[in-house]
Amino acid sequence: MSSENSSGPDLSRYRRQIILPGWGVEAQEKLRRSTVFVAGAGGLGSPVAVNLTVAGVGRIRICDSDTVDITNIN
């Protein structure tokens, strides 16, 4: 979110996080540049990936060894 990398929509999207004490624009920018690995896309992995996305993590790698089957789709 530094002035050269941020846009109005980014600042608007994360403004409630940015105003938290001890957080700020620099921390949000660091989060945007980060990469997170999620092992498994099941019951915990899927909502974790969504929440990491909403928080502003820049890159998320998801690995799951299972195959999609009608029995594991809610």
How do the domains of the chain map onto residue ranges? 1-33, 34-74
Backbone dihedral region of 22: left (phi > 0), alpha (psi from -120 to 50 degrees) or beta? left
Burial degree of 14 (CB within 10 A; 0-12, 13-18, 19+): buried
Instruction: Give the separation between CA 48 and CA 17, rounded to whole angstroms.
Output: 18
Instruction: Give the separation between CA 38 and CA 34, rounded to whole angstroms.
Output: 13
Instruction: State the pLDDT at residue 70.
Output: 83
Instruction: State the pLDDT at residue 7.
Output: 59
**Helices and strands in the chain, H and E counts:** 4, 2
pLDDT in tens, the chain (74 residues): 544 455 567 778 899 999 999 999 999 999 999 999 999 988 899 999 999 999 999 999 999 998 878 877 76
pTM here?
Answer: 0.73
